[in-house]
Chain A
Amino acid sequence: MVRILVSSDQSLCVEFGNDISEEINNQVRAYTIVAEQAAIEGVVEYVPTYRSVTVHYRPEVIGYAALKNRLMTLTDKMSAVEIPLAQIIDIPVLYGDGYGPDLAYVAQINDLTEQEVINIHSKPEYIIYMLGFTPGFCYLGGMDPRISTPRLQVPRVKIPAGSVGIAGSQTGIYPVDSPGGWQLIGQTPLRMYDPNRERPILLDSGMHLRYFPIDQAEFDHIHAEQYGERDANK
């Protein structure tokens, strides 16, 4: 059942459930698309999460009661609107060695070879449930439980941007240099966050994501393309 809750005097929360599930997240995605198409005057932005959409708005343009009504009527339109297929984004990853210092540990704790971990990790089509935590950080669903690994006991102080990690039953990518406790299994040369790009953040919620393994030469080539020219411009 959909509930529309007050988040603040400038935002409402359209809540579809309280679980992490593909079904609930599909409703979130459908609703976000319908709401954006409706282009309600006074709405500043929609923030989709696992199970809700937070609607930030300007009360000087549209008041609480009027917006709540509009948002409620939009739920009826969800089934009528054609929801486009999720866009798939392929993420090249150089697994292991200096790029994924915890790959051996993830293999060992799960009784697998490193190659098996790579095969299992790069097989599924993950759902991007939401972005949050830091600019561009994705919360993915769909990781194979055979490679689940607890977080590091002592987090690292600095993890390089692009690092691909596992924490419990989740996998994700660090978009910017940051501290963190995820087990690092590889690194993507793609620049996940670049404030100078027209589209600063590569990922979006609702997209599907696939990892595919690359070798050092491919990594260097893509990395130079993504970072090299920009750095040379500084």
Chain B
Amino acid sequence: MITFVKRGILTTIQDAGRKGFQRFGMPAAGAMDQFAMKLANVLVGNAPDTEVVEATIIGPSILFDEAEAFAVCGGDLEPCLDGQPIENNRAYIAKAGSLLELPMAKSGARAYIAFSGGLDAELKMGSRSTYMKAGIGGVQGRPVKDGDTLGLRAQKVELPHLPGRYVPAGFGVAYSSHPTVRVTLGPQDDLFSDKGKTDFCAGDYTLTQENDRMGFRFSGPDIESIPESDGNIISDGICFGAVQVTKGQPIVMMADRQTTGGYCKLGCVTSADLPLLAQLKTGDACRFRFVGVEEAQALYLAQLQLLDDLAKHLDTPAIAGAFATAHAAPRKTSLREFRVTVGVEVFDIQLEELD
């Protein structure tokens, strides 16, 4: 069992989302950063879509009433175990009586805590995701409160090759507070002018205060419609990441979005880049760039493959560490660039410091 000693700002239980009930108007919900959820699960030996704790900006303090393996991924909320700083993207074993704290977001917005074996959260319509408006899933369909407890579905106190259960920052997704986010066009891209589409990709869009699990409203260059469009359509389905445009400004529909809607949708943020968006905080900015749907799928499949490879390699201790090193994102801090002039010749030199 775990106890939420402090609840944090908004702490919910989430998984891959509620599938199959959108035709009845039931929003999918699910983790905002699906990649971080999957990675945390893989590190502790779970199936990637197992339910996790989603912490937001100021995270919860969690008491382990029994020993349990866990991992934290996604945003850096400066996690501490029994007062000692611990790393994101690494599996740990908490002892009975240990306290995990996630005091404050240093970078990113949402951290995901996976517990080996999963959490005994409320299962409704095939998912344990909390959907607060309908009061279902998670802990009684609401954010956790101080003193809430949750059982572990299958307690695990040891994991094979624990030291190798680690990946460096940037594994799979290069998080940033100013990312470029790829978008596929459609389904109503023909209702926007060429100028509108060009402007959408030309400037910074800042995340306004109006951002929650349902949607992110951005502020930036106006997105021009064609003269024939009044911005409305006869309602159709809304996907995770859909870029709705109202009064020239984009709202990206997130995990708790409604299933259908009547605003024009210019495009949809790609599955591979939705994690980048999910980690933005109010005031962060991003840029948008269009890609084709097949390229978007290739990017997403590459992420899934990476997680799949990681899961396989974690079962084979000898190569686990080597795998992580091979997939480390280049560290910008260790890259230095020089320009050297020798006589009339100019050399551009990149020096990468390896540790």
Binding site for B on A (CB under 8 A): 5-11, 13, 15, 18-20, 44-54, 56, 59-60, 63-65, 130-137, 139, 175-176, 193, 195, 200-201, 203-205
- Residue in B closest to A10 when the chains form the complex, CB atoms: B271
Cβ contacts B1-37/A at 8 Å (1 or 0 each): 0000000000000000001111111110000000000
Among B237, B300, B301, the most chain A Cβ lie within 10 Å of the Cβ of B237
- Residue in B closest to A51 when the chains form the complex, CB atoms: B234
Chain A residues lying within 8 Å of B187, measured Cβ to Cβ, are: 5-7, 13, 15
- Residue in A closest to B304 when the chains form the complex, CB atoms: A60
Chain A residues lying within 8 Å of B296, measured Cβ to Cβ, are: 9
Is there a chain A Cβ closer than 8 Å to B89's Cβ? no
Cβ-defined contact, B20 with A45, below 8 A: yes
Cβ-defined contact, A176 with B236, below 8 A: no
Partner of B293, one of A6, A133, A176: A6
Cβ-defined contact, B26 with A46, below 8 A: no
Given A7-B239, A8-B242, A49-B234, output 14 extra A-B contacts at Cβ < 8 Å.
A6-B186, A6-B187, A8-B240, A8-B268, A11-B268, A18-B234, A45-B23, A47-B23, A51-B236, A59-B301, A64-B293, A135-B134, A195-B124, A201-B21
Chain A residues lying within 8 Å of B301, measured Cβ to Cβ, are: 59-60
Binding site for A on B (CB under 8 A): 19-27, 124-125, 133-136, 184-187, 233-237, 239-242, 258-261, 265, 268-271, 293-294, 296-297, 300-301, 304
Cβ-defined contact, A49 with B237, below 8 A: yes
Cβ-defined contact, A20 with B234, below 8 A: yes
Cβ-defined contact, B239 with A49, below 8 A: no
Grouping DSSP codes into helix (H, G, I), strand (E, B) and loop, the B interface class, with mixed when no group exceeds half, is mixed
Cβ-defined contact, B235 with A135, below 8 A: no
Chain B residues lying within 8 Å of A133, measured Cβ to Cβ, are: 25, 258, 260
Cβ-defined contact, B25 with A52, below 8 A: no
Cβ-defined contact, B20 with A44, below 8 A: yes
- Residue in B closest to A202 when the chains form the complex, CB atoms: B24
23 A-B Cβ contacts within 8 A? A6-B186, A6-B268, A7-B186, A9-B297, A18-B233, A44-B20, A47-B260, A49-B234, A52-B237, A53-B237, A54-B237, A56-B237, A56-B239, A63-B294, A132-B258, A133-B258, A135-B25, A135-B26, A136-B24, A193-B134, A203-B24, A204-B23, A204-B24
Chain A residues lying within 8 Å of B270, measured Cβ to Cβ, are: 8-9
- Residue in A closest to B28 when the chains form the complex, CB atoms: A56
Chain A residues lying within 8 Å of B259, measured Cβ to Cβ, are: 47, 131-132
Asked whether A47 and B134 contact (CB < 8 A) given A59-B297, A132-B258, the answer is no
